[in-house]
Amino acid sequence: MRVICAGGGTGGHINPAIAIAKHIVQKNPESEFLFVGTDNGMEKVLVPKSGFPITFIDVNGFKRSLSLYNLKTVFKALTAVLKCKRIIKDFKPDIVVGTGGYVSGPVLLTASLMKIPTVILEQNVFAGMTSKMLSRLVDTVCLGFEETRASFPDAKNVVLTGTPIRDELFLTDKQTARKTIGIDNKPFVVCFGGSLGAETINNAMTDFINNCAGNDYNVLFATGENSYESVKKKIINKNNNIKVVPYIYNMDQVMNAADLLICRSGAITTCEIAALGKPSILIPSPNVTDNHQHYNAKALSDREASVLVTEEQLKENPNVLNNTITSLLKDKTALERMSNNAQKIGIKDGCERIYNEIKTVVR
């Protein structure tokens, strides 16, 4: 099978494409791949690091207003379509798979016009503009969340597949993970706001740690590389059961060991939490397109699988996080209910389901 993967900009678009490609290689070792991206997105580093070839097109996203920038973007898009046509003619793919980001637009559009089988993956609850525009043309739309189905009323075929999730998350269990990283039977709280950190989350979590009584909890708090030194100075609680780090490198072990996760609600993170059945407090980033993290978090909180706390709430009252954490950890029934509800939403075999849709379309 010859596959073109189109997606870029952020890891949330690129990592699913890489996961799908690796899964196809496991199933069909003779498969060949070509990634298409831009040379100013994370795909420039992540794709070659994963061992796949990549070629670049010059394309930008549209701004939501009339501007000279948008006129230039239209010109770039038309030029990109011509380049995509050459790329597709040269590579001769059996299928083109899009995983989001504006780079996937011209690639999937061109492939559809050339009658090449096409599949797109929409990981977020709130569907992106590119996915909506392409949904009438592509053969199948794969969804990370059932709630997204309503966004594609005119699509040819819409299937709930879940989002590709790292296999290593399922190679251990809670007790083994806790033993591996040295966690005792006290509740284990894990907080991470992303590789760069998040100031509002860091401030609220610092307050929680400083108000945390004695040795009631084990806490692992990842501040982000840029914020580590400044946050460390504000932590006055020096109990050995509290660890403050710049970044969590063994996330698969940590997530499995945790009793409660506090984090952003990007599509992949949210799907991983659900698949593992982990109680969580989700704090959506307000600085993302279409506020899509809020809708991801709401998909879990509406089904009592998580608690949604906004940055606005934290800014108005930093004790909101402290109060939410302590009340949840004192209520084992609530934690168990959240865990069970999360597992009902979670999909562990996203890659396999997407692979099956790809096979169907290619046939």
For 60-93, write each residue's pLDDT tens digit: 554 555 555 444 555 566 678 889 999 999 999 9
Asked if pLDDT for residue 276 goes beyond 50, the answer is: yes
Asked if pLDDT for residue 114 goes beyond 70, the answer is: yes
Express each pLDDT in 237-274 by its tens digit: 888 899 999 999 999 999 999 999 999 999 999 999 99
Look-up of token digits 């890489």: 18
Express each pLDDT in 193-251 by its tens digit: 876 668 899 999 999 999 886 678 999 999 998 899 999 999 998 888 999 999 999 99
Asked if pLDDT for residue 52 goes beyond 50, the answer is: yes
CATH 3.40.50.2000 fits 168-345, yes or no: yes
pTM: 0.88
- In single-letter form, the type of residue at position 345 comes to I
DSSP code per residue over 216-281: S-EEEEE--GGGHHHHHHH-----TTEEEES--S-HHHHHHH-SEEEE---HHHHHHHHHHT--EE
Express each pLDDT in 104-113 by its tens digit: 889 999 999 9
Asked if pLDDT for residue 291 goes beyond 70, the answer is: yes
Express each pLDDT in 117-168 by its tens digit: 999 999 999 998 889 989 999 999 999 999 999 999 999 999 999 999 988 8
List the alpha helices (DSSP H) in 92-194: 104-113, 129-134, 174-181
Q: Return the structure tokens found at 12.
A: 């949330």
Helix (H) or strand (E) holding 120: strand 118-122
The alpha carbon torsion through 9, 10, 11, 16 (nearest 10 deg) reads: -60
Cα gap 19→280, rounded to integer Å: 25
Q: Return the structure tokens found at 103.
A: 């780079």
Least-confidence region, from 6-10, 107-111, 278-282, 309-313: 6-10
Query: Distances in Å between the alpha carbon of 55 and those of 52, 205, 347?
Result: 10, 42, 32
Rounded to 5, what percent of the chain is helix, strand, coil? 50, 15, 35
Lay out the sheet containing 188-192: strands in order across.
242-245, 218-222, 188-192, 260-263, 280-282, 307-308
Q: Which of 41, 36, 63, 49 is nearest to 129 (CA)?
A: 63
Q: Which of 209, 210, 206 is nearest to 223 (CA)?
A: 206
At residue 280, φ and ψ (nearest 5 deg) are -150, 155
Q: What is the pLDDT of residue 65?
A: 52
- Residue 213 CB burial class (10 angstroms; 0-12, 13-18, ≥19): exposed
Instruction: Answer yes or no: are the C-beta atoms of 296 and 268 closer than 8 Å.
Output: no
Identical fold between 2-165+348-362 and 168-345: yes
Cα gap 314→281, rounded to integer Å: 12
Q: What is the pLDDT of residue 207?
A: 93
pLDDT band, residue 283 (cuts 50/70/90): very high
Cα gap 342→322, rounded to integer Å: 22
Query: What percent of the chain clears pLDDT 70, i.e. is strictly above it?
Result: 93
Q: What is the pLDDT of residue 70?
A: 46
Query: What percent of the chain clears pLDDT 90, i.e. is strictly above it?
Result: 77
Question: What residue segments make up the domains of the chain, in order of their start?
Answer: 2-165+348-362, 168-345
CATH: 3.40.50.2300, 1.20.272.10, 3.30.1330.60, 3.40.50.2000. Which one for 2-165+348-362? 3.40.50.2000
Cα gap 257→180, rounded to integer Å: 9
